[in-house]
Structure 1
Amino acid sequence: MKPVKLIVPLLALMLAACNVNQKDDDMEPLPPTGTENPETPVEEPETPAAETPSDRDDDDFTVPDSFQPEEYRLEDAFPGLTFKEPLALTHDETDEDTVYVVERHGLVYSVSLEDSQEKAVYLDLSQVVDISGQEMGLLGLAFHPQYKDNGYLFVNYTKEGKTFISRFTHEGVSPVDLSTEKVLLSYDQPFSNHNGGSLLFGEDRYLYIASGDGGSGGDPEDNAQNLESYLGKLLRIDVDTEDQAYLLPEDNPFKGQGGNILEEIYAYGLRNPWKFSFDPGRNLLIAADVGQGEIEEIDLIESGGNYGWNRFEGTSTYEEGSSIENHIPPVYEYPHSEGKSITGGFTYYGDDMDSLKGAYIYGDFISGRIWALWFDSDLKAENHDLLDTDLMISSFGLDKEGEIYIIDFQGKIYTMKEED
């Protein structure tokens, strides 16, 4: 039997799991501020949305015909190193064997995979970010596909009751100069929780942004279904411009709809899509959406798709209110008897574990369980247990070779290995 975890106050992170089926009326809202909505003309062709690391070719993402998991173990990725409330791990687009670890309190460390006994401060936003709420802080990091040439990195952080999506420029010296910040987008957060946080570039070179429903419990402001709100959405913008904050992709689903509909929206009806990722082998965009009081879900995101929150929690009716039509149910869900806060991961295409090729690896922050979701040729999902751990799994990450890392909010980072 696993030992019982000690959940300290800060560990409620991204978890709606701690919000039972009632509104959190005792939560104090943050001070209201204005919402920025830059003018954003468009000029880009339609392209696929799957992310493919620049130094890997299509053969690296071949999906096997079937899936049969083996036995696995965890291995400390960086012996001797610990981190303070780590939330993400990623890599840049250079030839360096380096990964970057994001801490909620505002620090990003670079770690060399060749000498993994030392970490160096790469970005320090500790005096900038607001961490007063359990799900606030520095929440996401993504490197531009041409980072090697332009030095651009993008972050998602909270400050002054708002989410900020900003670009910084690494000019060859670390830590990154904070004066290089270019704020691309900011929007109000009415409560301190459900801030989303993930950032990823697609193969289309557009930046995708995960946004939670604004918090409290049950989406009391009905943000997820509101196309005039940035909250409860997956957003998509074109950052390859210097004249403006960003551009709008021509094929964004609500482009040209008129009125106050936000043209940055790519998909909506999400509660707290804390982590999402691209499956380049199947050309899928997969989001793990944290549930309310009963169900955790995994969604296959389509352009313009409505994923049902808060009228539905998973496939179950949740909230009475105006009906919605043609919402997209989850491809997979699990009840709170198995876990209470889903942490999305990545589809594995690395070389170290042949048995996991083509499987979507994900876990749960509360239960510590790690699973593999396998999609057949009709995209029907089949779930497999991999590991039962004592970790507080806040995130998964990939290095440039496609090897997967498991981030423990308690301070350690692990890799997975097949048992000999």
Structure 2
Amino acid sequence: MKSKWGLYALLGLALASSQACANEPQGETAIGTTEDFENSASDNAPNNDSQPARVKLTRVFDGTRLVRPTSIEAKGDRMYVTEQEGRIVSFRTGEADAGGAPHTELDITDRVYAKGAEQGLLGLAFDPGYDDNGFIYVNYTTKTATVIARYRLPKEGEASSGDALDEQALLTFEQPYANHNGGQLAFGPDGYLYIGTGDGGGSGDPQGNAQNKRTLLGKILRIDASRTEGGKAYAIPADNPFASNGGAKEIYAYGLRNPWRFSFDADTGELWAADVGQNQFEEIDKIVKGGNYGWKLMEAKSCFEPAGGCEAAAEQTQAIDPVWSYGREAGQSVTGGYVYRGSALKALAGWYVYGDYGSGAIWALREAATGRYRNELLLESRLNITTFGLDGQGELYLTSAEGDLYRLDAQ
């Protein structure tokens, strides 16, 4: 079945598209040449909690576009962007503001398969010991599989590497369909590598992967990339939920459809994940060890399969509700972001900032004083938002499918 959003195929980046047939999104507006987009937060918030910051988007690299950007990471004064076809480019933030062009750090286009709209080089993470060992980890697809691999980036002044001989594949697993590949990589506060995987694709998780604890699909995985064990290029953390029995040892959480982007709160260590919905709801989850997030029993808080009467099964499997969800009137494909801990937007401190690929809306979400969650619209960007990222100072950036990089600034 074709992707629900025809524009995804046009742009070549349906990073998280649902596979159910529906109407095309309405009201899409071309970016044009406008440099900044502004809007204010909602004026309808209760008085017992502060408003998020008033923000605008400022284009970085004026006149220079990235090629199908998929993730943003930072190390020191440099930012790194993965491009879907298999390149990692970098720049210093000051150079970007001055209009400098990004520098190619790694080119693995010879082994990355990026012809499918949701395939390609999808994620990047820096080893906790990167300053000493230069190790990075990437998440990419071949035509039929996902590969988690390690490379060593040369230090500044060294000759560039990236030859096939430099790759060490840690983990490879088959993908039954071209879509729903997840793609996020991140090291947690515990030093372990977390990996987001989609349910394997197809409409409605036809293979039942998300609830199957013996497959790596539809999961958040956690591995120890610093050690080898049992003939594998990685080790299993001893406290993984199924390290001893009952499921695949790499699983940290399950019951997810396509967790395209997730992130850790730099202050609390909480793991936030945005899980792309099927045909009704997009959701934001707080991921806990061993948690079951319901798919495909549930789509957000609504029964999916069976279409009714799923509550008993959800209760039996201890399915965890999302902290927030929204319907098709607000967006079509959630792009997860970060809990803001920077200094430039002080009123945004503690808010989880995320967006939607289809509608271009950018929201801020946080737990209010009442214990319930508040969600505030920051702006209508009119962008197809592919990913968010942080620079070395914790300031927020995002990319569009069209190849532009933006920074969130105060109005």
The 5 A counterparts of 1:258-407 are 258=246, 261-320=247-306, 323-324=313-314, 325=316, 326-376=318-368, 380-407=372-399
* Aligned AA (2:102): K
* Aligned AA (2:116): G
State the match for 1:205 in structure 2.
191
Partner Cα separation in structure 2 for residue 336 and residue 395 of structure 1: 20
Please list the CA deviations of residues 169-210 of structure 1 after superposition, one character each: whole Å capped at 9, or x if unmatched: 123332434321111101110000000000000111100000
- Maintained 8 Å contact 1:169/1:177: no
* Aligned AA (1:109): V
Q: Sort the Cα spacing of 1:245 and 1:357 in 2 relative to 1 into closer, same or farther, 3 A.
A: same
State the match for 2:78 in structure 1.
98
Please say if 1:223 is aligned against 2:227. Answer: no
SS in 2 for 1:114: helix
| Offset at residue 356 of structure 1 (A) | 0.6
TM superposition score normalised by structure 1: 0.84
Q: Name which of 238, 245, 250 aligns with 1:250.
A: 238
SS in 1 for 2:382: coil
| Structure 2 segments unaligned to the other structure (5+ residues) | 1-5, 23-47
State the match for 2:15 in structure 1.
14
Partner Cα separation in structure 2 for residue 17 and residue 219 of structure 1: 11
The 5 A counterparts of 1:127-206 are 127-172=110-155, 173-206=159-192
Structure 1 vs Structure 2 CA RMSD: 1.9
Partner Cα separation in structure 1 for residue 235 and residue 369 of structure 2: 36
| Offset at residue 134 of structure 1 (A) | 0.8
Alignment size in residue pairs: 367
SS in 1 for 2:291: coil
Q: Sort the Cα spacing of 1:245 and 1:163 in 2 relative to 1 into closer, same or farther, 3 A.
A: same
* Aligned AA (1:248): I
TM superposition score normalised by structure 2: 0.86
Q: Sort the Cα spacing of 1:379 and 1:246 in 2 relative to 1 into closer, same or farther, 3 A.
A: farther
Please list the CA deviations of residues 209-237 of structure 1 after superposition, one character each: whole Å capped at 9, or x if unmatched: 00000001100000000011100000000
SS in 1 for 2:347: helix
Please say if 1:85 is aligned against 2:68. Answer: yes
| Offset at residue 337 of structure 1 (A) | 0.7
SS in 2 for 1:115: helix
Partner Cα separation in structure 2 for residue 412 and residue 351 of structure 1: 24
| Offset at residue 389 of structure 1 (A) | 1.3
| Structure 1 segments unaligned to the other structure (5+ residues) | 22-64
The 5 A counterparts of 1:228-239 are 228-239=214-225
- Percent sequence identity is 43
Partner Cα separation in structure 2 for residue 7 and residue 341 of structure 1: 11
SS in 2 for 1:343: strand
